[in-house]
Amino acid sequence: MKRRRVLLATTVALAIAGSTGVATTAFAEESARGFVNVAHRGGGGYAPEMTDAAFSLLPSQHPDVTEVDVQLSADGVPVLMHDATLQRTTDVADVFPGRAADLVNTFTLAELKQLDAGSWYHDRFAGEEVLTLDDVLDYVQPHGIGVFIELKDPAANPGVEQAIADVMNADPRWADMIADDLVTFTSFDQASLKRMTALQPEPPLVWVNSTVPSDTVLAEAATWADEFGTHYRTLNGATDIARIKATGMRAMLYTLNSPDVMQEGLDLGADTLITDFSGALSAVESGGNPVPQANGIVVKDVVADPPGSDLQPETGEHVVLTNVTSERIWVSGYYLNDAVINTLVVGSPYYIDPGAELRVYTGPGTNSPTKYYNDLGRNVLNNNGDSIAVFTSWHALVDLYAYT
């Protein structure tokens, strides 16, 4: 519990100074916030995850920290990649035919550098590269932004902890980051976190689990972890937050992608909130506009699990858009992204009149002025909840919506 020692020291210092401030963490104090704002995957809602395009936006979004997922290349370099394979976030199927389903760690760094890690999100991001852990320093260190390093699928990446430690020992900027309390290790894998802290003892540890376990399991975790993170949609509200905090661990929630759920996370007293839209979270916290380019086209509803099949013709899963302004708005070329950037588009020509609705379907059907069918051949809208970001054809973010 390295962080707890920091908390104790800070609490004492504030008491001596007669401050009425609430001691939280070094991150929170630096940002004058009562919580830590974490840009998930480098802020992967605004631009392709963990690329130059995403990281370059961080200073303007004002997160405290960016989260990155680390795996090993075949030649042992810690690289930034979330999925086990490269299929979702690169053009591996085109560049290396026959290897698209192969694990990330079967590709050398030189091979990974041949991939386009941006076009999958949108053509406007063509040419983005796969980056390494060390690359992250250039984007965060000059701005005092922290890094949550997630050891992603460490069982499939043996030696990843030593490789991360080696990277940190090779560049003195990492020592500065650690000394400034700007590095944290996170993982779903407890054994990996324990191996990591044995090699690099200073950074705090966040154990992540998709649900909140029993009090007994939490209490055991609190003997070695500083923070526990879980999915906000599986959370039993304030009760679970209290159970986590009762152990002495801080409470982290992921991945909160609409102003409503961000506010709920803040109201619950979570210590750390992870979001793909850290700028929106900064605005929610400060009372600003979380979607500054909003134009009145908003998500009214998501019908993710209609009676029958999600992809049935005419009446399958869909998003309902509406226009809350008093003017007709053209929406041709608008696109809707879920949290992992499955994209539904709006065809052409389409507009929405004031108060009217446009239903954007995943499956097949007969287009009409109020219905547009993507006919993707696969379902997209998660029946267990997800988020939808609405972008114009020129990539202005106009709405953020989450459903359960």
Among 52, 67, 153, 227, binds ligand G3P (CB under 6 A): 67
> Binds 128, which of Ca ion, ligand G3P, none (CB < 5 to 8 A, cut-off by type)?
none
d(CA 69, CA 195): 17
**Distance (Å, whole) CA 293 – CA 271:** 28
The residue sitting closest to ligand G3P, measured at its beta carbon, is 254
Q: How far apart are CA 139 and CA 359, in angstroms?
A: 39
Residue 274 binding partner per list Ca ion, ligand G3P, none, with a CB distance cut-off of 5 to 8 Å that depends on partner kind: ligand G3P
SS3 370: coil
User: Does residue 335 touch ligand G3P according to CB under 6 A?
Assistant: no
| Cβ distance to Ca ion smaller for residue 69 or 111 | 69
DSSP string, 259-304: HHHHHHHHHHT-SEEEES-HHHHHHHHHTS-SSTT--SEEEEEEE-
**CB contact at 8 A, 311 and 70:** no
188: part of which helix (H) or strand (E)? Answer: none
- The CA-CA-CA angle for residues 263, 270, 52, to 5°, reads 75
Mark residues 132-161: x for contact with ligand G3P by CB under 6 A, - for none. Answer: ------------------x-----------
Residues touching ligand G3P: how many (CB under 6 A)? 10
Q: Which two tokens stand for residue 316?
A: 């399958």
The residue (of 133 and 344) whose beta carbon lies closer to Ca ion is: 133
Angle between the N-to-C axes of helices 133-140 and 172-179, in degrees from 0 to 180, rounded to the nearest 10: 60
Interface with ligand G3P in residues 221-240 (CB under 6 A): 229
Q: Is 138 helix (H, G, I), strand (E, B) or coil?
A: helix
Q: Which is nearer to ligand G3P, 249 or 331 (CB)?
A: 249
Which is closer to Ca ion, CB of 150 or CB of 271?
150
Asked if 186 touches ligand G3P (CB under 6 A), the answer is: yes
Query: Closer to ligand G3P at the Cβ: 67 or 181?
Result: 67
Contact in structure between 62 and 76 (CB atoms under 8 Å): no
Compute the distance between CA of residue 289 and CA of residue 300 in angstroms, rounded to an integer: 19
Q: Which residue has the tokens 């039993």?
A: 236
Residue in 274, 302, 336, 402 binding ligand G3P, rule: CB under 6 A:
274
> Which residues in 42-71 contact Ca ion (CB under 5 A)?
69
For 251, the token pair is 């409470």
Spell out, one character per residue from 112 to 151, where the chain touches Ca ion: x when CB under 5 A holds, - when not.
Answer: --------------------------------------x-
Q: Which does 208 bind (CB under 5 to 8 A by kind): Ca ion, ligand G3P, none?
A: ligand G3P
3 dihedral zone (left: phi>0; alpha: psi -120 to 50; beta): alpha
Counting contacts by CB under 5 A, is residue 161 touching Ca ion?
A: no
Assess 69 for contact with ligand G3P (CB under 6 A).
yes
Could you say whether residue 276 binds ligand G3P (CB under 6 A)? Answer: no
- Does residue 189 bind ligand G3P (CB under 6 A)? no
* Sequence-distant (≥ 6) Cβ neighbours of residue 45 within 8 angstroms: 257, 275, 276, 277, 337, 339, 389, 397
Comparing CB distances to ligand G3P, the nearer of 120 and 373 is: 120
Which partner, ligand G3P, Ca ion, none, binds residue 243 by CB below 5 to 8 Å per kind? none
Residue ranges that bind ligand G3P, judged by CB under 6 A = 40, 67, 69, 82, 150, 186, 208, 229, 254, 274
Residue ranges that bind Ca ion, judged by CB under 5 A = 69, 150
